[in-house]
């Protein structure tokens, strides 16, 4: 005798069969979609994968040096940039023919001397100075170092500006370029320096003057101290730049620092101190102090006096 089922039982069994069929259909559709995407991707172009950077080239020196050490790199040629490398000069606002002619010329800039060294923190520098042989001021004077391997192939470049970055006619300003990539000095790459500036009819102002200076040597460092005074009518943001020379008048180092509190009011004085690494005999060196000023607004004054209250 065959078992008999109620209509409700047949209904439940039918619903389960339909549910099972639906699940199988959905899974099959998803699988076919994946296969279609894979097949489509195989026909696309390959994705460009960038190479992983060489960490050893950019790592810092393993430990800081206790004393500065001179580097021995090939002496580079020093030359002004070619005419086709210069950036177009800004147009003069003056109506004089002589000024307009000057502002269309490329500043005649010359690198006088340069030196490479490793500082006490293990950072590598190229220091030197630039003279402006033009009859007008050159501003934003930049120095570019290009590095070449043993096959004379360009491997990289660094850029810095002189301090101060504007050089008046006939003036000399120092620069300090930090070698950013270890590969350039670790592999003893040769380098080439070039200098470029932009002509301007602006005169280099000198509202802040040096009124005293002194120096002392202490544990391999040269400390240059003194005072400056603002004889102008505006507030000034003031940097003091010190260039260190050896007995042959070759640049050894150059550093700058702000005066105390950085800003100087009209007719006010302020002290300064600049610290440089000293890499020559205590009896065979001299230094030069220069001032870079930038006009600024008066800082706000905060009145902390309590406000009286009514009794």
Q: Do the beta carbons of residue 30 and residue 23 sit within 8 Å?
A: no
Q: What pLDDT score does 22 carry?
A: 67
pLDDT at 28: 59
DSSP characters for 105-132? SPP-EEEEEEEEEE-TTS-EEEEEEEEE
Walk along the chain (311 residues) and give the pLDDT tens digit of each residue.
545 556 676 677 777 776 776 666 666 555 555 444 554 444 443 333 333 334 343 443 333 333 333 343 444 433 333 333 333 333 333 334 444 445 667 899 999 988 888 887 888 899 999 999 999 899 999 999 998 988 889 988 889 999 888 899 999 999 999 887 777 777 777 889 999 999 987 766 689 999 999 999 988 889 999 999 999 999 999 999 999 998 888 888 999 999 998 999 999 999 999 999 887 777 788 899 999 998 888 887 545 555 555 54
- Given this model, what pLDDT does residue 174 score? 94
pLDDT of residue 131: 95
Question: What's residue 263's pLDDT?
Answer: 93
Contact 171, 211 (CB under 8 A): no
- Structure-token pair, residue 174: 């120092």
Select from 112, 107, 105 the least CA-distant residue to 78.
112
Question: Looking at residue 190, what is its pLDDT?
Answer: 85
CATH class held by domain 58-200: mainly beta
User: Which phi and psi (to 5°) does residue 144 adopt?
Assistant: -115, 130
Question: Which tokens sit at 227?
Answer: 């005072």
Q: Which fold has domain 208-296?
A: Immunoglobulin-like (2.60.40)
Cα 167 from Cα 13, distance rounded (Å): 96
- For residue 233, give the DSSP letter: S
CATH 2.60.40.10 boundaries in the chain: 208-296
Distance CA 177, CA 27 (A): 65
Tell me the CA distances in angstroms from 297 to 207, 229, 236, 265, one per residue in order: 15, 17, 8, 10
The residues, any chain, with a CB within 8 Å of residue 111's CB and separated by 6 or more, are: 78, 128, 129, 130, 143, 193, 195
Prior bond to 164 cis, omega within 30? yes
Report the pLDDT value the prediction gives residue 227, as an integer from 0 to 100: 96
């Amino acid at each position: 005798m065959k078992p008999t089922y109620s209509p409700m039982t047949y209904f439940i069994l039918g619903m389960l069969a339909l549910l099972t069929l639906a699940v199988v259909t959905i899974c099959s559709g998803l699988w076919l979609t994946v296969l279609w995407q894979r097949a489509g991707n195989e026909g696309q172009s390959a994705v460009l994968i960038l190479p992983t950077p060489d960490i050893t080239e950019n790592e810092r020196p393993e430990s800081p040096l206790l004393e500065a050490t001179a580097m021995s790199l090939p002496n580079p040629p020093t030359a002004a940039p070619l005419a086709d490398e210069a950036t177009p000069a800004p147009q003069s606002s003056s109506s004089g023919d002589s000024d307009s002619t000057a502002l269309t010329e490329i500043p005649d800039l010359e690198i006088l001397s340069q030196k490479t060294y490793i500082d006490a923190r293990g950072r590598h520098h190229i220091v030197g100075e630039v003279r402006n042989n033009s009859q007008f001021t050159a501003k934003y004077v930049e120095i570019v170092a290009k590095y070449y391997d043993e096959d004379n192939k360009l491997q990289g470049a660094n850029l810095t500006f002189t301090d101060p970055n504007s050089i008046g006619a006939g003036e000399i300003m120092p620069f300090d370029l930090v070698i950013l990539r270890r590969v350039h000095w670790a592999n003893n790459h040769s380098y080439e320096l070039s200098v470029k500036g932009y002509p301007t009819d602006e005169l280099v102002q000198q509202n802040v003057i040096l009124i005293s200076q002194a120096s002392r040597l202490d544990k391999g460092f040269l400390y240059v101290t003194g005072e400056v005074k603002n004889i102008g009518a505006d507030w000034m943001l003031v940097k003091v730049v010190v260039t260190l020379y050896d007995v042959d008048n070759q640049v050894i180092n150059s550093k700058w620092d702000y005066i105390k509190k950085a800003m100087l009011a009209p007719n006010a004085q302020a002290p300064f101190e600049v610290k440089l690494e000293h890499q020559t005999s205590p009896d065979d060196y001299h230094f030069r102090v220069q001032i870079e000023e930038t006009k600024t607004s008066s800082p706000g004054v905060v009145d902390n006096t309590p406000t009286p209250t009514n009794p």
